[in-house]
Amino acid sequence: MRIVVQRVSEAEVWIDGNCFSHINRGLLVLIGCRTGDTEESCHWLAEKTINLRIFEDADHKMNLSAMDISGEILVVSQFTLYADARKGRRPAFTDAMEPVEAERLYLKYVELLSNSGLQVRTGSFGAKMSVKLVNDGPVTILLEHDI
C-alpha cells in the first residue's frame, strides 16, 4: 500500500462541479492499494499518518503531528499511485488492486484514522474527482508498506 501525504493549509474534493469534501489545516492523503495488500498495511499506515511529525513547532522545526495540532485529514483514493510507466508511453496498472478489495482497504484505513478522534473527510471511491489544495511548505511525503 502506498500513500502520498501532503501538509496542507486547506484542501477540497470536487465532483461534478460541487464541493464534496473540504478540510482546513491538516493532511491530504492520496492512497493506492496494490494486489496482495492486507489490513496490516492499513494499520501501519494509519498510525504513521496521524503521528508523522511534519508540522512546525514554535521554533519552526517539524516536531508536531496531526494529532498534536488536531489537524484534519482528507483521504482520496488514487489507483494511479501504482502506475508502471517503465515501458512504452502509456502507464500500466497491473499492480493496482481490483476495485472491490481496494475499496474495502481504503475504508478500513479511513476508519482507523477516524478512530484517532481527528476530523477525517474523504473523496468518493472510484469517482472522477478534482482535488484542490494549498500545500503548506511545500511538504510532501511518500509512505509505503510492503507486503
Q: Which residues are catalytic?
A: 78-80
Counting other chains too, the contacts that 45-51 makes at CB distance below 8 Å and 24 or more residues apart are: 45/1, 45/3, 45/109, 45/143, 45/145, 46/109, 46/112, 46/113, 46/116, 47/112, 48/143, 49/3, 49/5, 49/73, 49/113, 49/143, 50/113, 50/116, 50/118
For the four alpha carbons of 98, 99, 103 and 106, in that order, the dihedral sign comes to positive
How far apart CA 75 and CA 81 sit, in angstroms, is 14
